[in-house]
Structure 1
């Protein structure tokens, strides 16, 4: 594939990955799952930078075989150490420092901010090899099967060393702080009467054709070179909405900058979230990000603040976005703490923020919040979609083991929580969030929902841990009947993948979506071919 104007060449064969955070037992094995893909060198972009290929692949034939038993030299046992942590209340005001982004260089391989970050130099191999390899940034990301150890299997078996490591467990204690944000007036209390919400006839299970990886969207070696342009080395999610005609907003979760290491969650320059924009309509060769919201040169800003205090508010993660007129809305979750149980976390609440300046700065509404009382909140992780006179809110509890509920609200009352009606036993009922009827059997994680106007159908994508896949359903109305799910990307083929956020400019036959990878902790664009229902 040649270099297109304004684009870096997309890696031809990229894998995705599953949630490294959810290593549940997998009783279901999708029939479409295949043996590991043939070995290929890690992909590179047009600048020669090596990207990450998390697709399950056969071992590199040029390397010694891996050891039969690969025992780690050290096993860490983390010991919690309680620590009193004063936390000022109320929260300090959001930092809305912003700059006008400079245009990117015409040459995609030119460093736009050499004073901010040095351009990596290629690393030459030994003279005997007679070749050079491009710099791989934080790690090659190749699951090529290479491993430490001799691989001969003849070495004496050594037991791992056990090490006890202290882990600070904060005990937050609120203390008086500054004035914080100005209190917002509460909206009027309204109660809409119960209205019927009948289901429609099912559309049947979506029929899938080929599913392929288009390319890496973020990180070192990506089409967008986000590490050099905006100090985005590791990030995830990449949920999207049309912020205005011809422009897509793209929100990412926890983000780390220079010094982030492959295979590690966390690192320097931590931002709980960042936001980019794209006008790229030809997604067949990759997704180009035109710019990001920045607080300094070549530095993506954290656009929704978080306290970054475990057991108080560890981080703030976007879950969906939409626009009504010139106002942007964003649903988000306030994370109290991540659990040691894979795939689980605890939220303080799910909330809504809004922006009236095109997404540059955001205000968290102080009243549009769904508190997670005793951990039973049903609308902690939301996907919100405007359609007709309503905005529909699909929601799950915190973590990845919850059922899916549905609510709706008039477009003029999005920030008035009392105006929401919840779908309960075939009716739209007020003040019934925890009685919402599950839309289908089974668990769902981090929903992405889209109304496909071309085919007049609703589409829903999410990670189903019990099916070891990112799956797709469809329905004629938001309340269903929702079809059976069909696996789109098996986590046996793409280990450690999660997400599945649909691009709004998908068509009725080409479904584009982003997937995140845990070890490489970056975002990838995928495409699924669909049979049109028409």
Structure 2
């Protein structure tokens, strides 16, 4: 059984801070009948209950019990290449796979009948790995680049955004959600919801650790663990939510894991997307290879931050073996990256492997994205190359920052940045006239006083200067919500 560790509860904030291609198998099922009319914004169907946030007092408490294991690091796993075309019923209220998703729940135990939390003790191996004696051979690497050092002035600071009319638009994932992901793709609990424009009329949405069967919040506890998923949407009526047209699937009503992970604690427990973008027909996804979840709130330890790419519109992904930023001594920047193409460059905003570091900045020519030696890092007034492979960047936004999301507003010619600020106990937004800043003061969009266990804050690319749409996750629900804020 796979799950996220309780130690990942660093997401919790208690005031103190926190195409589908042709030619593939087609999955079919006998749908249920009696579909109800669609009710936008509160769920897919009139028969769905109105989504309600789960109490911060859990009904189930799962405690991992770690025990040491000595093993051999056998290296990266092969990617799951199986793909199945999912033909969904046109009526969103119809369950395409009731035999898979409508299995009866187990009867409550005595403690549950008495209103006590259910306690689950879960043995969890903590691995001490020996080096792989037969590491896989790598393909030839990119040609060594020698970028110059170039001056880069900062722009004057903009005023802090004025935020008003913040509201929860709709629940996007899980039970009783707008997309019925529990019924259509066996996605009961998931988080993040990282969005980028994958085509002129389409948005890709990447999710983090996901569970299906026996899901029990808080956090991603349950069975059928997938480290990441990918959905696509074309609807522009964001005032009622983001409607998923499809997810990448590998079986009937089953969303596929995009980037494999070894799921071995203290080797690689999971691989989580951090941003995405498209250049021509190629999709790129930045991700972090997480070694272990730490016990401290808002902290974890990565192996590296890396880049993957897809040349079949997100169906299959390749982790580039060279486009990596190793986590040296646990303090390296660009472990969590937000990458944005603009002009001739792709800008990479990055933070260390926690929610507690500052934001650094790098840039690379669009045709050199997968060549780490071609990157220049903003260092106190200049774009400069890495020195002996070590990337150093002057913070453009001071700590603490987590779940970074950056967007360039073409209409206003303004950069926007959203992230979790554990010092302010909420999601915040900043603006700047240039990627290196000076960035404005931050303004809170959603406070932990409203949602005590919030995190995320990923901006929808089709936001406008005034209407800011972004996703928010909550640890107690362990699902994703679309939020709206007016920026004056």
Distance 1:393 1:323, change over 3 A: same
Q: Does residue 517 in structure 1 map to residue 474 in structure 2?
A: yes
The answer as to whether partners of 2:43 and 2:179 remain within 8 angstroms in 1 is: no
Q: Does residue 93 in structure 1 map to residue 85 in structure 2?
A: no
- Please name the residue that 2:45 is paired with: 46
Higher alpha-carbon deviation: 292-301 or 496-505: 292-301
- Please name the residue that 1:256 is paired with: 211
Q: Does residue 83 in structure 1 map to residue 69 in structure 2?
A: yes
Q: Distance in 1 between matches of 2:426 and 2:276?
A: 24
Equivalent residue runs for 1:210-359 within 5 Å: 210-359=165-314
Aligned-residue CA RMSD (Å): 3.0
- Please name the residue that 1:446 is paired with: 403
Q: Distance in 2 between matches of 1:467 and 1:309?
A: 34
Using the TM superposition, give the Cα deviation of residue 108 of structure 1 relative to its aligned residue in structure 2, in angstroms: 1.5
Higher alpha-carbon deviation: 48-57 or 403-412: 48-57
Using the TM superposition, give the Cα deviation of residue 54 of structure 1 relative to its aligned residue in structure 2, in angstroms: 2.6
Structure 2: runs of 5 or more not aligned: 1-7, 19-41, 109-113
Structure 1: runs of 5 or more not aligned: 1-18, 30-42, 58-69, 121-134, 140-146, 150-159
The answer as to whether partners of 1:55 and 1:494 remain within 8 angstroms in 2 is: no
What whole-Å deviation, never above 9, does each CA across 1:407-441 have from its counterpart, x for those lacking one? 00000100000000000011000005643111023
* Aligned partner of 2:96 among 96, 107, 112: 112
Q: Distance in 2 between matches of 1:266 and 1:174?
A: 30
The answer as to whether partners of 2:126 and 2:264 remain within 8 angstroms in 1 is: no
Q: Distance in 1 between matches of 2:43 and 2:144?
A: 56
The answer as to whether partners of 2:9 and 2:219 remain within 8 angstroms in 1 is: no
Using the TM superposition, give the Cα deviation of residue 53 of structure 1 relative to its aligned residue in structure 2, in angstroms: 2.5
SS at match of 1:487: strand
The answer as to whether partners of 1:450 and 1:504 remain within 8 angstroms in 2 is: yes
Q: Distance in 1 between matches of 2:173 and 2:61?
A: 32
Distance 1:316 1:77, change over 3 A: closer
- Please name the residue that 1:201 is paired with: 156
Distance 1:28 1:316, change over 3 A: closer
Distance 1:345 1:300, change over 3 A: same
Using the TM superposition, give the Cα deviation of residue 114 of structure 1 relative to its aligned residue in structure 2, in angstroms: 3.3
Distance 1:26 1:283, change over 3 A: same
Q: Distance in 2 between matches of 1:301 and 1:421?
A: 35
* Aligned partner of 2:443 among 479, 486, 489: 486
Q: Distance in 2 between matches of 1:229 and 1:435?
A: 45
Task: Give TM-score, length-normalised by structure 1.
Answer: 0.78
SS at match of 1:241: strand
What whole-Å deviation, never above 9, does each CA across 1:170-208 have from its counterpart, x for those lacking one? 22234457x86x732200101111001101122211111
Q: Distance in 1 between matches of 2:325 and 2:107?
A: 38
Task: Give TM-score, length-normalised by structure 2.
Answer: 0.86
The answer as to whether partners of 1:370 and 1:379 remain within 8 angstroms in 2 is: yes
- Please name the residue that 2:129 is paired with: 172
* Aligned partner of 1:420 among 366, 375, 393: 375
Q: Distance in 1 between matches of 2:353 and 2:196?
A: 23
Q: Distance in 2 between matches of 1:116 and 1:28?
A: 39
Q: Does residue 399 in structure 1 map to residue 354 in structure 2?
A: yes
Q: Distance in 2 between matches of 1:237 and 1:481?
A: 27
The answer as to whether partners of 2:14 and 2:448 remain within 8 angstroms in 1 is: no
The answer as to whether partners of 1:52 and 1:520 remain within 8 angstroms in 2 is: no
What is the number of equivalent residue pairs in this alignment?
450
Q: Distance in 2 between matches of 1:51 and 1:172?
A: 47
- Please name the residue that 1:6 is paired with: none
What whole-Å deviation, never above 9, does each CA across 1:264-296 have from its counterpart, x for those lacking one? 422111100000000010010111000001111
What whole-Å deviation, never above 9, does each CA across 1:53-82 have from its counterpart, x for those lacking one? 23889xxxxxxxxxxxx9x99999976432
SS at match of 1:203: coil
Distance 1:54 1:389, change over 3 A: same
Distance 1:337 1:20, change over 3 A: closer
Distance 1:138 1:515, change over 3 A: farther
- Please name the residue that 1:21 is paired with: 10
